[in-house]
Chains A and B, each alone.
Chain A
Amino acid sequence: MTTTSETAAGLPDEESALWLARLRAGGGEREAAVAELHELLLRAARFELGRRRASLPHLRPSDHEDLACQSADDALLALLGKLDEFRGESRFTTWAYKFALLEAGVKVRRRAWQGREIPLAEEAWARLAGAARAERGAEESELFAAIREEIERSLGARQREVLVAVALNDVPIDVLAERLGSNRGALYKSLHDARRNLRAALARRGFDLDLDRKEER
């Protein structure tokens, strides 16, 4: 791709404007546009499911297709509810794709974790200890030990729960949100606060937390 759809005034490009007009029209014209849009979303959902096939090895091809259709249906509903939020800052089709990719991605992650328990904190501590042992430098080893201490000492219960699950036990944030009856945005806020508090606590103890500088050494 060599250009974006952004015009100087931030107005939709011609093709995007046509999509909007057809979706806002009545009768058969709108029905045809909705059907076309559903096909577009289905293609994006299939693309995402194709990429994630390895994470769902037990699913039959028909299950994949069902997931793709559900994703396209849910994306269409979400998108039509937010049509007025399209500002023409990208092509309409790019804007539409992201709804299908989100729905498909969330469904794949949840399906991959279906029937699996969220790992316990002990598993996270074992991974942290393994990382500390793998470090050759004394400073890095000390950093990992301090991280465990500060996770237990400096974080609130929800912050600790989210950080341990997402950053140490690799639980997808959507899966965790579903289990905790929350949503991605709220849990990411907890994760963000946990990281900020952890960084502050470690900095007070004199650790160098510039990871890019560490990597350059």
Chain B
Amino acid sequence: MSEPTEGKRSEEMLRGLLGPGVPELDCEECFAALDRYVELALAEREADELVPGMRAHLAGCPACAEEYRSLRDLLRADEG
């Protein structure tokens, strides 16, 4: 959850302001590929090679990054 924070680290602030600076998916493309990307990542396969632009988008978009973490953790919980 992105809550207003005081004293946000300057490096974190810079990353938010400047973004990943490399080609990335947009939010719609991210949502379309998220399930595949998470399964590949959990299976320790080449998720970043097979879904190019996803890692950069997750670095630049806090909302999509939250959904990535939630899906990953839900699948981990399912695995018990």
Listed in ascending order, the chain A residues whose CB lies under 8 Å from chain B are 1-6, 44, 47-48, 51-52, 54-55, 85, 89-91, 94-95, 97-98, 101-102, 105-106, 108-109, 112, 119, 127-128, 130-132, 134-135, 140, 143-144, 147, 163, 166-174, 184-185, 188-189, 191-192, 195-196, 198-199, 202, 209, 211, 214-215
- Between B4, B26, B45, B70, the greatest number of chain A beta carbons within 10 A of the residue's beta carbon is seen for B70
Question: Are B28 and A185 in contact, with the CB atoms below 8 A?
Answer: yes
Count of A-B contacts with CB under 8 A?
Answer: 146
Q: How far is the CB of B68 from chain A (nearest CB, A)?
A: 9
B52 smallest CB distance to A (angstroms): 15
Residue of A nearest to B5 (CB): A170
- Give min CB distance, B6 to chain A, whole Å: 8
List the B side residues contacting A196 at CB < 8 Å: 19
Among all A-B residue pairs, the 5 with the closest Cβ atoms:
A195-B19, A167-B16, A90-B35, A131-B10, A55-B1
Report the Cα distance A102→B43, complex, angstroms: 23
Min CB–CB distance B77 → chain A (angstroms): 7
CA distance A92 to B22 in the complex (A): 31
| Nearest CB in chain A: distance from B2 CB, A | 5
* 0 or 1 for each of B1-40: is its CB under 8 Å from A? (1 = yes): 1111101101101111111010010111001111110111
Whether the pair A4, B1 counts as a contact (CB closer than 8 A) is no
Asked if A192 contacts B3 (CB within 8 A), the reply is no
Q: Choose from A131, A132, A174, A209 the contact partner of B21 (Cβ within 8 Å).
A: A209
A174 to B7 Cα, complex, angstroms? 24
Question: Which of A6, A97, A112, A198 lies in contact with B3, CB distance below 8 A?
Answer: A112
Contact assessment for A199 and B1 in the assembled complex, using a CB-CB cutoff below 8 Å: no
> Do residues A55 and B3 form an inter-chain contact, with CB atoms below 8 A?
yes
Q: State the majority secondary structure of interface residues on B.
A: helix
Q: Min CB distance, A97 to chain B, in Å?
A: 6
Q: How far is A172 from B27 in the complex, measured between Cα atoms in Å?
A: 14
- What per-residue 1/0 map shows which CB atoms of B33-62 lie under 8 Å from chain A? 111101110110100000000000000111
Whose C-beta in chain B lies nearest to the C-beta of A177?
B63
CB nearest to B19 among chain A residues? A195
Q: Enumerate chain A residues within 8 angstroms of B34, measured Cβ to Cβ.
A: 98
User: In the complex, A101→B70 CA distance in Å?
Assistant: 7
B63 CB contact (under 8 Å) in A54, A144, A174: A174
B2 adjacent to A170 (CB under 8 Å) = yes
For B16, give its contact among A6, A166, A188, A189 (CB under 8 Å).
Answer: A166
Please indicate the chain B residues that have their CB under 8 angstroms from the CB of A3 in the complex. Answer: 43
